[in-house]
Every structure is written in structure tokens, then in C-alpha cells.
Amino acid sequence: MTDVSKLAQRAPLGNLTPGKVSPSLEVPASIERPEYMFHDGPERVIASDIKSPEVIEKIRVAGRIAAQALEVVGQAIAPGVTTDYLDQIAHEFIIRQGAYPSCLGYMGFPKAICTSINEVICHGIPDDRPLEEGDIINVDITAYKDGVHGDTCAMFEVGSVDEESHLLIERTRNAMMRGIKAVGPGREINVIGRVIEAYAKRFDYGVVRDYTGHGVGEAFHSGLIVPHYDAAPNYSTVMEPGMVFTVEPMLTLGTTQWEQWDDDWTVVTADRSRTAQFEHTIVVTEDGSQILTLP
């Protein structure tokens, strides 16, 4: 006999379709722009992933703005609210701090934040779709101020969600924190993914491989790659004090295979299973690490 109560706690498969994207919001001319706003194509920033104490403090300031914006957006999440409205909230908050919303205009991205709902792994574009009871949503925010970026993201529940989705969110946050705790000078960067994948496997979650953590600071995305799966012996860069990068695992209830919408941004799981992600920007210290994206 089927246990209806247990079935009710399973996460539904996704059925998202693209909504209408409103025009990009403006940023006051007085606010400093990142360099990629002045040319086509990818960033042209050459900077060491090992930062000076002065640069680290600048990243902490930018990271705090991003984290505070994330809190403000989170307070507005509810059934019936559109992701376009969430973008407006984040945009206005960031520019009030004299910072630039890093996503806006990056490689042509049209909005200040990424909003990834249910089966969207990452890079969802805010649009006119109202959030629905039972949705889960990732909000990814990066702020640029005083020449550096601070990058963070978190998951939010829309109203009451099923138990499977709730646990996925909780465990993805735990996976990120376990990865961060593995950071330390003298260790290879692949240890982060080893720890994350070992934890995720306990729950039969998929660990997305094609989207990774990255160096961040003067560049939004430096050449440093931080995989969230066990990539050893590859990605063997040795962590050093002052190194700054993101840890941002993406875990799925099903496959890690993905498809991309025609907008060239939105990435969804191929089987439309739900997915979750958390992210912090961190700095390697003499005895571990510090999170730079705290409110």
C-alpha cells in the first residue's frame, strides 16, 4: 500500500519556462564600474589570487554589502513575489552602498542578481514569474566596490516546502561549511571537493562538476578553479595564506547532467530534479580560513 504522506514529502520535478525579462536597471554614473563593462568578451584582469591585507579588507567590505543585500532580498521572498522584484530590491540596496552589482552587464547578463528556482542549477535571470508556494530559490549576489568583488549566494524556501527539498537545502549548506572547514595553508585545493562529495554521497545527492568555485577579488572570476567533487590528483594548487576564492557547491536530487535555455544563461538539471547551492567568499589564513561574505 502506498504511503501518501511520504509521497507528499517528495520534491516535485520542475516545469519552469522562461518569463518576461524587464529592461536592465540603471546605475548612477558616480559608481565605479568593473573593467568588463568597458569592452566585449571576458574579463581582462591579471591579479594574484594571494591578496595583500589591504585588498582582503576591501573584499570583506564588498562581501558584507553582498551579504546584507542577500538578507534584504531573503526577507522579501514569499509566494506571489516575482524574481524581477527581488532583483530591484538587490539593485537598489547595492547602489545605495555606493557599490556596483557585479552581475549586471557581466558577459551581457541583464540583471543585478541571479535567481535560480527549483531545477535551475545556476544563472537564472530574474523575470516576471511569481514565486509559488513550495518553490525553492537560490539568490546569487556579488557586489563590486573599491576595485574588488565580494560573491555570495544562499537558498530560500517559498512558503512551506516538501521535506526532501528542505533537507537538500540544509545539507547543501552543511556541505559548503564542511568544504570551508577543510581549507588551510599547505593543503591542495582539491581537498575541498573531496570533503564535499564524501558528504553528499551519504544522501545520494549529485555534485555538479561543470560549475565550480573560483578565485575572486580584483577579478569577478580569476583563473583559479575550486571543484566541489573529488578531483584529485587534478586541481592540486596548494593553498597559501591570503588566497581568496569561493566555495559554492551545487547539489542535486537527481542527475548532474544539465541543459541550458536559449537565453544562454539559465542552466537546469537534465531530469528537472531540484538542486541547491550555497556560496561564500573566503580567505586562507595561517591556521584555516575566514569567511569574507558575512553581513
Q: Residue-wise pLDDT tens for the chain (295 aa)?
A: 334 444 458 899 989 999 999 999 999 999 999 999 999 888 999 899 999 999 999 999 999 999 999 999 999 999 999 999 999 999 999 999 999 999 999 999 999 999 999 999 999 999 999 999 999 999 999 999 999 999 999 999 999 999 999 999 999 999 999 999 999 999 999 999 999 999 999 999 999 999 999 999 999 999 999 999 999 999 999 999 999 999 999 999 999 999 999 999 999 999 999 999 999 999 999 999 999 999 9
> d(Cα 292, Cα 174) in Å, to the nearest integer?
18
> d(Cα 91, Cα 85) in Å, to the nearest integer?
10
Q: DSSP character for 196?
A: H
- Burial of residue 69 (CB within 10 Å: 0-12, 13-18, 19+) is buried
Q: Give the gyration radius of the chain's Cα atoms.
A: 18
Q: What is the pLDDT of residue 8?
A: 53
> d(Cα 278, Cα 250) in Å, to the nearest integer?
7
Q: What is the pLDDT of residue 7?
A: 44
Q: What is the pLDDT of residue 268?
A: 98
pTM: 0.94
Q: Are 208 and 228 in contact (CB under 8 A)?
A: yes
Task: Tell me phi and psi for residue 259, to 5 degrees.
Answer: -130, 160
Tell me the β-bridge partners of 120.
268
Q: Are 217 and 54 in contact (CB under 8 A)?
A: no
Q: What is the pLDDT of residue 181?
A: 98
Evaluated on CA atoms 187, 188, 193, 199, the torsion sign reads: negative
195: nearest Cα among 184, 180, 216: 180
Q: What is the pLDDT of residue 9?
A: 85
Q: Which three cell numbers stand for residue 171?
A: 545539507
> d(Cα 141, Cα 131) in Å, to the nearest integer?
18
Q: What is the pLDDT of residue 5?
A: 46
89: nearest Cα among 169, 25, 163, 38: 25
Angle at 19 between CA 66 and CA 84, to 5 degrees: 30
> d(Cα 191, Cα 236) in Å, to the nearest integer?
9
Residue 218 CA to chain centroid, in angstroms?
A: 18
Q: Which three cell numbers stand for residue 228?
A: 566541489
